């Protein structure tokens, strides 16, 4: 027997104004037909960089007093001010360096570059090499893979970054804002940090002490750890377990 | 062209074989319920659009594992709700449910008097205000049941709980709604 509250709720249901349903079919089909990696042009990256730098400066000034650090080789996690939420679309930057091949990157960096051997990932779609920090940074970009959904803005499913860990404790920083959880984890027995949810992004200081944003989109969940004198970062995996699977497959 | 619309099962079979137009038809069939489900979970129109789209993309990739003969909608809504939860950052937002325009909601009847319409509208507002004061999880379970008219299996998928606990969650939420309404009446 339906009571009067149920009857009222049923009647209310017919009077609820949901936002108009967007037409999704076309955009879904476009996504399905899209090449695996879509790379923003240099123009877009330059625009993104300026905005991101301004944002980084603002955030750092606001948050530095309350900052608590977790140090890894060459990397420091900085916890920013609560309640601030930058737009992820602004967090697009060029600090990746230039596109190259795996073989070239391997020959240029001052550490033993490793590549995930996880079945299904295959070769990275793009390899970037940056001179900074000292010893070089290599970023491997993967488009969409089974289980690694591509980011809508960048077309990138997974990012793996490596740089030398013995370059001083505060060269690279990762700014962590409200709503982010940092969880201790293990990769091959080494201490690791899983930075998940909310907004966070990396930057580094160049030779003049200026902040430079260092990856292309940094609001996705990230696993970071130090192993064999190299600081590693795996970004974009859908879960901690998936990130560890990628991390432990490095060879 | 065939004379009858294809069933979900037929469309799924075609989509699995790479027929994009078959998947497009499935998206058209379910985009509204998928979007509204995502909206109730996430409480933001733009995020809900992205979550619904992510959900369809994930569903497309997972079609190979879809059990033949099963109902598509509960499976799809579960995927969409997961996508919405993954996008939801920090604390659950308040779902901003609103009433449709007064005249619109009242149309179709044999012209009741303005006083009757006003009274009905007032009662809707009271009820919606009481719902908005519930905890997000109570609000969600009531909205799924009464505003989207989801079945138990679909609700279990969206709430990510066993089917057996849907009834008790709904019942507890309804009791809390009654309590809020009593408080309002006493105030």
* Residue B81 burial (10 A CB sphere; 0-12, 13-18, 19+): buried
Contacts of B145 in chain A (CB under 8 A): 9
Per-residue pLDDT at B66 = 84
Chain segment A142-164, per-residue pLDDT in tens: 877 877 777 665 667 788 888 87
Can you give the pLDDT at residue B166? Answer: 95
Question: Two tokens at B118?
Answer: 């006003």
On whether residue A10 sits in a domain, the answer given is: no
Q: Is residue A13 part of a domain?
A: no
Query: Chain B residues with CB inside 8 Å of A5's CB?
Result: 174, 177-178, 181
CB pairs under 8 A between A and B: 101
Give me the residue label for tokens 């090499």. Answer: A129
Who wins on pLDDT, A155 or B109?
Answer: A155
| Closest to B129 measured CA to CA, from B99, B93, B170 | B99
**Does residue A11 lie within any of the structural domains?**
no
- B28 at interface of A, judged by CB pairs closer than 8 A: yes
B93 three-state secondary structure: coil
The answer to the question of residue A24 being in a domain is no
Distance CA A155, CA A150 (A): 5
Cβ B89–A198 below 8 Å, yes or no?
A: yes
Q: Which residues of A touch B23 (CB under 8 A)?
A: 28-29, 32
**Does residue A50 belong to any structural domain of this protein?**
yes
The answer to whether the CB atoms of A29 and B56 lie below 8 A apart is no
Total number of domains in chain A? 1
Cβ separation of A21 and B32 shorter than 8 Å?
yes
Determine, yes or no, domain membership for A112. yes
Q: What is the pLDDT of residue A231?
A: 83
Q: Which of residues 189-228 of A touch B (CB under 8 A)?
A: 197-199
Q: Which helix (H) or strand (E) holds A172?
A: strand A172-176
pLDDT, tens only, A108-143:
888 899 999 988 888 888 888 877 667 788 888 887
Q: Which domains does chain B have, with CATH numbers?
A: 8-87 (1.10.1740.10), 102-186 (1.10.10.10)
DSSP symbol at B6: P
- Closest CB to A21: pick one of B24, B35, B86: B35
Local confidence pLDDT in tens for the 251 residues of chain A: 567 899 999 999 988 889 999 999 988 888 877 543 333 322 222 323 344 444 444 334 333 323 334 445 555 555 544 333 333 333 334 456 777 889 999 998 888 999 999 888 888 888 888 776 677 888 888 877 877 777 665 667 788 888 876 654 444 555 555 456 777 788 888 878 887 765 555 555 545 555 555 544 445 788 888 888 788 888 888 888 899 999 999 99
Q: What is the ipTM of this complex?
A: 0.85
Cβ-Cβ contacts under 8 Å, A36 against chain B: none
Judged by average pLDDT, the poorest of A236-240, B49-53, B108-112, B137-141 is: B108-112
Q: Tell whether pTM > 0.80.
A: no
CB A170 within 8 A of CB A196: no
Whether A36 has its CB under 8 Å from any CB of chain B: the answer is no
**Residue of B32, B99, B174 with shortest CB distance to A16:** B99
The parent domain of residue A202 ranges over 36-248
Answer whether residue A30 is part of any domain: no
Q: Please indicate, yes or no, if residue A142 is contained in any of the structural domains.
A: yes
Using a CB–CB cutoff of 8 Å, tell me whether B75 touches chain A. Answer: no
Minimal C-alpha gap between A165 and chain B (Å): 31
């Amino acid at each position: 027997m339906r009571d009067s509250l149920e009857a009222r709720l049923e009647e209310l249901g017919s009077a609820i104004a949901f936002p108009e349903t967007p037409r999704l079919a076309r955009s879904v089909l476009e996504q399905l037909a899209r090449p695996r990696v879509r790379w923003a042009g240099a123009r877009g990256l330059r625009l993104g960089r300026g905005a991101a730098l301004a944002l980084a400066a603002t955030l750092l000034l606001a948050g530095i007093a309350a900052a608590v650090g977790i140090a890894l080789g060459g990397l420091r996690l900085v916890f920013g001010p609560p309640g601030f939420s930058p737009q992820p679309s602004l967090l697009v930057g060029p600090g990746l360096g230039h596109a190259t091949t795996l073989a070239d990157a391997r020959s240029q960096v001052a550490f033993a570059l490793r590549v995930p051997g996880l079945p299904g990932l295959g070769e990275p779609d793009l390899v970037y090499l940056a001179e900074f920090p000292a010893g070089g940074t290599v970023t491997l970009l993967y488009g969409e893979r089974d289980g690694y959904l591509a980011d809508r803005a960048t077309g990138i499913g997974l990012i793996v970054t490596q740089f030398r860990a013995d370059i001083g404790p505060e060269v690279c920083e990762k700014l962590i804002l409200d709503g982010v959880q940092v969880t201790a984890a293990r990769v091959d027995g080494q201490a690791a940090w899983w930075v998940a949810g909310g907004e966070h992004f990396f930057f580094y200081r160049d030779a003049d002490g200026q902040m430079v944003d260092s990856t292309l989109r940094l609001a996705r969940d990230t696993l970071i750890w130090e192993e064999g004198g190299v600081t590693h970062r795996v970004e974009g995996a859908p879960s901690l377990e998936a990130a560890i699977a990628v991390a432990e497959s490095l060879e | 062209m065939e004379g009858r619309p294809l069933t979900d099962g037929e469309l799924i079979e075609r989509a699995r074989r790479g027929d994009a137009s078959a998947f497009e038809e499935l998206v058209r069939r379910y985009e509204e319920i998928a979007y509204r489900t995502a909206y109730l979970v996430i409480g933001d129109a733009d995020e809900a659009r992205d979550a619904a789209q992510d959900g369809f993309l994930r569903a497309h990739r997972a079609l190979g594992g879809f059990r033949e003969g099963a109902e598509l909608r509960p499976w799809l809504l579960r995927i969409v709700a997961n996508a919405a939860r993954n996008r939801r950052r920090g604390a659950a937002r308040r779902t901003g449910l609103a009433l449709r325009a007064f005249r619109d909601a009242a149309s179709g009847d044999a012209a009741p008097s303005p006083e009757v319409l006003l009274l009905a509208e007032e009662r809707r507002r009271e009820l919606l205000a009481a719902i908005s004061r519930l905890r997000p999880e109570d609000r969600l379970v009531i909205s799924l049941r009464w505003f989207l008219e989801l079945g138990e299996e679909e609700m279990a998928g969206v709430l990510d709980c066993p089917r057996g606990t849907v009834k008790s969650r709904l019942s507890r939420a309804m009791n809390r709604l009654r309590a809020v309404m009593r408080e309002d009446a006493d105030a």
